[in-house]
Structure 1
């Protein structure tokens, strides 16, 4: 290692000798401490880390000559070409990239790969922010540490993207403060934007190839202008209503390093992997920007695993033309025959020929100056660390009126992996909505949404919940929506034997259930309550027909209703569609199905007088004894079924309360063996206490 350090000092003095700030003493950073610890703890480091091969020495000599000629032609401009690695050995930036394809599906696409690395790494800001890093370690070491600055993150991300077939480049230049400090307090939450994109994709587009074209509606310009003005006023009023006393922006201070903050990010060119247009990827946040609408200020260098280019365009980063082999736009260091395609070979600097000294005339320049293999060890992310995802198991990010908390699986007692909190104000003091995501829970809960202002809670479940009833008809809960003391709605998967798909209860007013595919063709039944009916009874006298409501006790029943599907084996005027039992009025109304194409349908109203049914008007046909007994039996059966539904629903709710008190976890079966994440709070199939 000492010999390598000596070589590094010589190389560093030759490369970048016109920038004494990089060589001068700098404040000790966490990155420098990690490098020192690595050197001290590694007994037998790789020879590629400690020394340079003859091919690498030849490459460094060529880079020195390129820099000297560049300074002679274009003036004194610092080029960050060969920074030292963790052992102090100078390495050419393109040779630091190590293209790798890891066996994880999530790392195969740009957006999820960038988002994963943004969560995986602990970001270190450059210190000071207007100087290049004093060390650029191997991406293998960076992934092992799970920490690094913007250069380390960009090199790691670019290595993974190149490994899966993208035409990716690292870009160094200058960026505004909110980019370099990873301050997203003014930016919208990307998870919310992705949810909106997914909802748009789910919208079904109708096939209008054979549709009759509709005439355009007649529109008044005056009405359009009036509507726009009203819309603008409404938006302004809504914005005023959403403001609070803490609406002042906390990130508006002046920046002493304005336009001088050095940064590094990733460029993905169009063409490969069906990429439609060039885009910039911010490695610290995972955000993707269009190259023409990017927030970056200036571009200095671009490099991939084959070459490095110096930007010669004096313009904003959004106006840079990415024609890498156009000498008016970029100066390239190496002769890349694959990138040139033979088109711009004549424009290569004479420095390529000057590195040919000492060789025979038959030796080709491209053969001498080809890029040596990457010096870094193979990039690897252990499966345990990949599933843990977040650095040290948790991560919190603040966005505009939003906070996102992420946790590694098995680290939270209740299985929480993400919590998104939407706020009313900029300082995030008044919460409007809280969205929580869960994994590996026995009760299959995967999402919970809470709105504190409305006292509303929505829980969503994956299929496979344990049966929630003593009978085989229970279970299959899909969604539970509850507004405290107001309403409750349960949605079920269509796997229940009783056919129940939806249960809605307006507490103290009405309860209804919807069914599908039942043998008795029942589609719907409901009970309507009226607490005011209790006033019709004397003191100490109880109503005859009541329904038990939680926190309200027995409430008088005003009406019960049943609906049935069509039975095509029976004539429509004999096939019952809807029956309403008006218990408070002592009436029964029967509606029959209508024939296709008809607007009217047959309906009969019966009066119940001490168990005897008579049809209205009394002068008309009266029901037979069997028909009357059938209706009375259906009324009793309906009341009994509603009572069973009440018991079944409250059994489900009580089970949910117990599940939240005694949370049980399930172990993922992926991988075929037990995973030890090495993080506190690893759980098996044990009873856990809920997190606060």
Structure 2
């Protein structure tokens, strides 16, 4: 049992505390929100008291792709085929069913044994102090905020537990801002049978005389006058009530709320999962949650199989990345708002070229071409469209394999298109025999294959095949040859199509082929540009800041002013003459003399020697400041340890502010010293190169 209890305000200021302090802070907030909350002092299991989360399921469930099921086709029962009579032997059917039942029972038995084995492995180790570990948590009782049943809240994790949970083994007492109740019930069999009715004095003994004000009920008699009623109220209110708190009111600043965790970072090990959480804007790339999933309970690095990352405030609208470690398959998820309307981008991290395998899904209503999905492979590409005005729905492009072009064709920077297959939805304004359903352009074979839609009540569809004439016959005007076309008409008794109509159809399809190839190349350029854009967005991520975000806007404003000042100073330096590092040494030559190789070597050596000494002096000065700051921090910590019991709240608050400032200054000195050490060598070499190219020391290069 702790001998002291810091106030909730101090707990939030220090961002730390033991279970009693954290439970009191949480209970205070819940009471302020009109919950019937109490602090519970009792006993809990080892995992709860030490906040061991490795046997608790991760609060972030594993991502699962939701497959959209096509709507079930409703058939007219009048035309549904009746199933044929089952002529199989009933005995054989029973034997097969018995065999299946036996296999199913065996499968369930194996699964049950495996489940028990896993439970045994996940079972917590034996605890010698089981039932003796003191702990504090929060109890929520009914009567307020539509709470139906009592339950517990673990303040260290925020998890809710039922009152019969095995995580808690006993209750000594409960209290809040109105009274203190001691538990008189037996907890040897757990808390499942504990009665949480605090009105029952047989189970709960309250410390302060009288009940809380909202529990008291006046029962005046009918013949009592006003004086007797007033006297009765005085007698009922004369009990000793819980004193008012003397600590400061809870005041959590907005920047502390935004940080969410101490230093803005929290790492938690759950069952087979490692979760890292970050406050917004702590990470430069907008990362707020990283979930690493493992196959084993120990979370061994070699058992890692998936990494999920969640982002916020990204300018590119990235919200999640899921990476499969074994295959390298990476899936990126985006919210609405991107210029290219990307929804999902799936690719392989080790092979992320423009022609590599990838799948891109779009918000089709946000794209002018209504594309909903784009699938790419090194030998094919699939495009899917939804709700287009021209009823275009699908395109499949087949490419020649790189390095294996078709005979007679030279391979260029772009892949060679072998075949283009397009599909169209039904256009109600056209006859089925004139409405194209599937169109195939065999680019290499120079053929065009058309298949029209099925008419209502028909089991076949019309088709038409064309063989394109040679290029020599298509240069000036198209010449139609009836021998180069063939087709099938589904309508019985229909007249064969006129040659003029076939000529117009062929001419139209040749133009459509050129347009399709142009669109294919345009999609390829869009994919290449998309890959380059994603590489840039990953390398230099940008975050959006709300105009209502005071903290981030303040930093952005300060940074903008600093950049403007730096640009101004840079422009001013560009106007000035270049600094001559050798001029102070040349001035020492009192009379004009011809600089000999010996003098030039001495000038160079003196300049480098003085610069080296300057670097050493700077490093020593930073090191001296670092040691002074370290000694100051140690002195402050020793002083705080000595006078801890006599400090006022204001003095303690000032101490923490001074300590944080000193630690920040110490961290700055450490970074300056490390940067100075890293840059000393390159700066010394840059000065040496500058002196080698100096006109006054040209004699050294000539001498060499």
TM range (shorter): 0.5 to 0.7
SS at match of 2:155: coil
1:213 is matched with which residue? none
Residue number among 449, 457, 482 corresponding to 2:347 in the alignment = 482
1:410 Cα deviation from its structure 2 partner:
1.7
Moved more, 618-627 or 308-317: 618-627
Question: Could you state the TM-score of these two structures normalised by the residue count of structure 1?
Answer: 0.64
Counterpart contact for 1:167–1:272, Cα < 8 Å: yes
Residue number among 583, 594, 608 corresponding to 2:443 in the alignment = 583
Counterpart contact for 1:503–1:513, Cα < 8 Å: yes
Q: Deviations over 1:651-675 (max 9, x none)?
A: 0111000111112222233356755
SS at match of 1:293: coil
Counterpart contact for 2:402–2:415, Cα < 8 Å: no
SS at match of 1:458: strand
2:174 is matched with which residue? 302
Q: Is 2:452 the partner of 1:592?
A: yes
CA distance in 2, matches of 1:519, 1:157: 58
Counterpart contact for 1:460–1:479, Cα < 8 Å: yes
CA distance in 1, matches of 2:440, 2:560: 55
Counterpart contact for 1:280–1:294, Cα < 8 Å: no
1:146 Cα deviation from its structure 2 partner:
1.2
Relative to structure 1, is the Cα distance of residues 199 and 564 closer, same or farther in structure 2, using a 3 angstrom cutoff?
closer
1:310 Cα deviation from its structure 2 partner:
0.9
1:497 is matched with which residue? 368
Counterpart contact for 1:607–1:616, Cα < 8 Å: no
Relative to structure 1, is the Cα distance of residues 170 and 648 closer, same or farther in structure 2, using a 3 angstrom cutoff?
same
1:527 Cα deviation from its structure 2 partner:
0.4
Q: Is 2:525 the partner of 1:525?
A: no
SS at match of 1:502: strand
Counterpart contact for 2:451–2:463, Cα < 8 Å: yes
Q: Deviations over 1:262-312 (max 9, x none)?
A: 001111223532334322111111111111234101011112222221111
Q: Is 2:50 the partner of 1:184?
A: no
2:680 is matched with which residue? none
2:470 is matched with which residue? 610
**1:146-157 correspondence to structure 2 within 5 Å:** 146-157=15-26
Relative to structure 1, is the Cα distance of residues 683 and 339 closer, same or farther in structure 2, using a 3 angstrom cutoff?
farther
Q: Is 2:243 the partner of 1:372?
A: yes
1:557 Cα deviation from its structure 2 partner:
3.3
SS at match of 1:272: coil
Counterpart contact for 2:181–2:207, Cα < 8 Å: yes
SS at match of 1:305: coil
CA distance in 2, matches of 1:683, 1:234: 65
Counterpart contact for 1:417–1:437, Cα < 8 Å: yes
Q: Is 2:307 the partner of 1:434?
A: yes
2:295 is matched with which residue? 424
Q: Deviations over 1:228-281 (max 9, x none)?
A: 4325546878999xx9xxx99799665443321100111122353233432211
Counterpart contact for 1:186–1:399, Cα < 8 Å: yes
2:378 is matched with which residue? 508
Relative to structure 1, is the Cα distance of residues 404 and 685 closer, same or farther in structure 2, using a 3 angstrom cutoff?
farther
CA distance in 2, matches of 1:281, 1:147: 18
**1:204-219 correspondence to structure 2 within 5 Å:** none
Relative to structure 1, is the Cα distance of residues 598 and 159 closer, same or farther in structure 2, using a 3 angstrom cutoff?
farther
1:230 is matched with which residue? 107
2:544 is matched with which residue? 666
Q: Deviations over 1:349-371 (max 9, x none)?
A: xxxxxxxxxxx999525333223
Relative to structure 1, is the Cα distance of residues 638 and 535 closer, same or farther in structure 2, using a 3 angstrom cutoff?
closer
Counterpart contact for 2:464–2:488, Cα < 8 Å: no
CA distance in 2, matches of 1:401, 1:510: 39
Residue number among 622, 625, 634 corresponding to 2:512 in the alignment = 634
Moved more, 561-570 or 665-674: 665-674
1:322 is matched with which residue? 196
CA distance in 2, matches of 1:639, 1:512: 14
Relative to structure 1, is the Cα distance of residues 442 and 167 closer, same or farther in structure 2, using a 3 angstrom cutoff?
same
Counterpart contact for 1:410–1:683, Cα < 8 Å: no
Moved more, 647-656 or 272-281: 272-281
CA distance in 1, matches of 2:470, 2:121: 73
Counterpart contact for 1:385–1:677, Cα < 8 Å: no
Counterpart contact for 2:255–2:551, Cα < 8 Å: no
SS at match of 1:267: strand
Larger Rg: 2
Counterpart contact for 1:189–1:399, Cα < 8 Å: yes
SS at match of 2:511: helix
Counterpart contact for 1:534–1:556, Cα < 8 Å: no
Q: Deviations over 1:322-374 (max 9, x none)?
A: 12121232112232255645499xxxxxxxxxxxxxxx999525333223333
**1:84-163 correspondence to structure 2 within 5 Å:** 132-163=1-32
1:259 is matched with which residue? 131
Relative to structure 1, is the Cα distance of residues 248 and 372 closer, same or farther in structure 2, using a 3 angstrom cutoff?
closer
CA distance in 1, matches of 2:104, 2:452: 46
1:396 is matched with which residue? 267
SS at match of 2:393: strand
CA distance in 2, matches of 1:199, 1:499: 21
Moved more, 152-161 or 175-184: 152-161
1:107 is matched with which residue? none
Q: Deviations over 1:105-142 (max 9, x none)?
A: xxxxxxxxxxxxxxxxxxxxxxxxxxx11111111111
1:542 is matched with which residue? 409
Counterpart contact for 2:264–2:278, Cα < 8 Å: yes
Counterpart contact for 2:181–2:204, Cα < 8 Å: yes
Q: Deviations over 1:381-433 (max 9, x none)?
A: 21111111011111111111100001122221212111011011222122111
Q: Which runs of 5+ in 1 are unaligned?
A: 1-131, 207-217, 345-359, 468-474, 687-692
Moved more, 496-505 or 145-154: 496-505
Q: Is 2:525 the partner of 1:650?
A: no
Relative to structure 1, is the Cα distance of residues 530 and 399 closer, same or farther in structure 2, using a 3 angstrom cutoff?
same
Counterpart contact for 2:463–2:487, Cα < 8 Å: no
SS at match of 2:382: strand
Q: Deviations over 1:13-67 (max 9, x none)?
A: xxxxxxxxxxxxxxxxxxxxxxxxxxxxxxxxxxxxxxxxxxxxxxxxxxxxxxx
CA distance in 2, matches of 1:376, 1:425: 47
SS at match of 1:317: coil
SS at match of 2:258: helix
